[in-house]
Structure 1
Amino acid sequence: MQREIHGGNVYGREVRLDFSVNINPLGMPQGVRQAITEYTAWDETYPDIECTDLRRAIAQKEGIAPEQILCGNGASELLMAVVRAAAPEKCAIAAPSFSGYERAVRAAGAEPVFYELSHDTGFGYETVCDRLSKMTVQMLFLCNPNNPTGNTIPEQILTEILQFCASKKIRVVADECFLRFHPHYEKMSCKRFLKQYPNLLIVNAFTKFYAMAGLRLGYLMTGDLSLLHAVAQQLPEWNVSSIAQRAGISALQDTEYEKRTRQLIEKERRYLIQEFLKMGCTVFPSEADYITFRLPQEKTGFLLKERLLEGKILIRSCANYRNMPPDCYRIAVKQHADNEELVRQVWRILIQ
């Protein structure tokens, strides 16, 4: 049943176009595919339990020390381990946002405390500090860009949140799994605050940007080495396979792939936004590789996901996100031909 709270549930369904998961439409970099094929000779050897070479590659890419990095079997494993290691009593989670935070919090025996983002501001984080001042929490989750809306946190608001949380000794877990799609990733990533805020932890993954969902590879960055060690104690040995480690190293080297990805996403996201606006939908601001839209008022209650699935196209309903109108849907940004096909089918269902 857990799969239904995420996209990508194509199993048992006949799907030809999956817009429900936000994976790089270019697919895995060619160098990654080659690395996977060539590294099968090591399948009978235990992987490096410390992920030494991979952490060095990530450190060089991110401009931080390898000692500040911990690798995991995807971001989800690391989220679980962070909450268990930090052992907060209560954790603040935005609504709407990624359901994995609540799952990690409850699994660790902590209590999630939700703060609602305003529909009127495109679900921005403007009121977070005010909400936090009325709470007693030990951990805050930030999703930047947020999921499912795709909006990023403005610089001023981000620094206000970090300063407030530091003064209240609240740990901040910043999820940046989609941020690398942004052309200004280096300027926007919270990694520039790691020295200033030891209460800050950043979770990232290879899943979305490098289209490596099946390989399961993520990493955690923080300046709190004591906490990082405690998080590591919550992970099983050899949790990152040899193939995933080699694939990650190869992915980080392909700068041309990064450039092509960002150009494609920016162009195709703009196309999808324009087309859905033409259909009378409300489209929420997005700087990610997906957009979320709300059906026109006269179509409220219309089962768009089910109608599209009749044509073997899968999109993500936002009905089970907290604080989201039930007639909202999230779609991935894909290659132009696929995006055109989705637009044609939605036009046919909603307009014609």
Structure 2
Amino acid sequence: MKHGGDIYTASEFIKKSLYEIIDMSSSVNPLPLPEKIKRKIIENIPLLHKYPDTEARAFRKTLSELYSVPFENIVCGNGSTELIYLIVRALKPESVLILEPTFTEYERACRINEIKSVKRVFTINQDEIFKKLKKEIEKTRFDMVFICNPNNPTGWILDKREILKLASNNKNSIFLIDEAFIDFVPDQSLIRESVSSNIVVLRSLTKFYGLAGLRFGYAVGKSEIIKKIKTYRYPWSINSLAQWIAEDIIRDEDFKNKSLEYFKRQKDFFEYSLNELKLNYFPSVANFYLIEIQKKGIFQFMLEKGILIRNCSDFYGLNESFIRVSVKTSTENERFFRELKKFLGILE
């Protein structure tokens, strides 16, 4: 299972229904959608025989008002992953730098688009990041630099002022900043700065808003960059349901606040439990934790218990000792730690 969230393969493997699997491998908000969103879906069902708006105008207008960014500086996609591929294809960078460990689709998008040079800066020490990035950029000029912020799978957040400084000192490079988890630390977003700089910001409604099954993401950047990206889009790639829900849910402050309060409580429980077990983990601003467990076999053990966690051995520089576990419902979180204690030999 290459990514988190593959409950379908897990279901076939352990012979359990999809509803019996606790999916802690994907970092998606477990809270239910607000009732008014569900009502809007029902109300708009008569429109499903119409094609979706290929320009996602209603969402872009809403986003423009919310963040004070120009309408023409926004492009939407079938999840932010589609936009990663479109950006690489549209901008055709000859040389790319990726800050690792991170989301594996950056490297894959470069490989599929036959990028000549892909280099990596790897560290699991947050204090070393900018020092290593600066050193590599001073040595080689890159057309594009990928930075995931907050980072997946470590959960760390980089100070946006440092990213801005790095980008402003390297104006010939496009800095692609993936903010899929920025809703947990919104003050660190570079969305407003991106419209007049060499930064392109990627955002997703998959994680914080729990829309993994609908696929909706967007990018914000200079208008000339956004125009290039749009020329490579497939028509009608974003379905109508995704657009209707996205337009409403990004305005729902009550849902945002409830989600943040919920994650704060459950993250406190997570960290207390991890500290109690004396396990090494990365302090995370997001709704997941990268945990190091030396004892082998935890992925298989949890899978047989009906719990899906993320094996991080396919992240560059990591191995099978690292797992990523997302924060879910309180019942699911408690179940995970009970099974973890059994795996570690603490509980019979």
Aligned to 1:227: 225
Aligned to 2:216: 217
Aligned to 2:281: 283
TM-score (norm 2): 0.92
1:236 alignment partner, SS class: coil
Preserved contact between residue 139 and residue 170 of structure 1 (Cα < 8 Å):
yes
Runs of 4+, deviation exceeding 3 Å = 120-126
Say what the alpha-carbon RMSD is for the aligned residues: 1.7
Q: What one-letter code is carried by the residue in structure 2 that aligns with 1:136?
A: R
Decide which moves more: 262-271 or 145-154.
262-271
Aligned to 1:130: 135
Aligned to 2:148: 143
Preserved contact between residue 68 and residue 192 of structure 2 (Cα < 8 Å):
no
1: CA distance, partners of 2:36 / 2:130: 38
TM-score (norm 1): 0.91
2:25 alignment partner, SS class: coil
Aligned to 2:202: 203
1: CA distance, partners of 2:126 / 2:203: 26
TM-superposed deviation, 1:196: 4.4
TM-superposed deviation, 1:253: 2.2
1:316 aligns with 2:310: yes
What is the count of residue pairs matched by the alignment? 338
Q: What one-letter code is carried by the residue in structure 2 that aligns with 1:246?
A: W
TM-superposed deviation, 1:49: 2.1
Aligned to 1:336: 330
Preserved contact between residue 167 and residue 173 of structure 2 (Cα < 8 Å):
no
Residues 340, 203 of structure 1: alpha-carbon distance in 2 compared, 3 angstrom cutoff: same
Q: What one-letter code is carried by the residue in structure 2 that aligns with 1:269?
A: K
Q: What one-letter code is carried by the residue in structure 2 that aligns with 1:210?
A: Y
Identity of aligned residues (%): 27
Q: What one-letter code is carried by the residue in structure 2 that aligns with 1:192?
A: R
Preserved contact between residue 177 and residue 203 of structure 1 (Cα < 8 Å):
yes
Q: What one-letter code is carried by the residue in structure 2 that aligns with 1:279?
A: L
Preserved contact between residue 69 and residue 195 of structure 2 (Cα < 8 Å):
no
Show the 5 A alignment for 1:89-168.
89-111=94-116, 113-121=118-126, 124-166=129-171
TM-superposed deviation, 1:140: 0.5
1:25 alignment partner, SS class: coil
Residues 284, 229 of structure 1: alpha-carbon distance in 2 compared, 3 angstrom cutoff: same
1: CA distance, partners of 2:111 / 2:36: 39
1: CA distance, partners of 2:341 / 2:148: 32
Q: Select 1:177's aligned residue among 156, 180, 183.
A: 180
Decide which moves more: 34-43 or 107-116.
107-116
2:169 alignment partner, SS class: helix
1: CA distance, partners of 2:155 / 2:301: 25
1:10 aligns with 2:7: yes
Structure 1: runs of 5+ lacking an equivalent: none
Q: What one-letter code is carried by the residue in structure 2 that aligns with 1:288?
A: A
2:208 alignment partner, SS class: coil
2: CA distance, partners of 1:85 / 1:110: 12
2: CA distance, partners of 1:244 / 1:179: 20
1: CA distance, partners of 2:123 / 2:181: 21
Residues 273, 126 of structure 1: alpha-carbon distance in 2 compared, 3 angstrom cutoff: farther
Residues 44, 196 of structure 1: alpha-carbon distance in 2 compared, 3 angstrom cutoff: closer
Preserved contact between residue 8 and residue 20 of structure 1 (Cα < 8 Å):
yes
Preserved contact between residue 72 and residue 218 of structure 1 (Cα < 8 Å):
yes
1: CA distance, partners of 2:69 / 2:136: 32
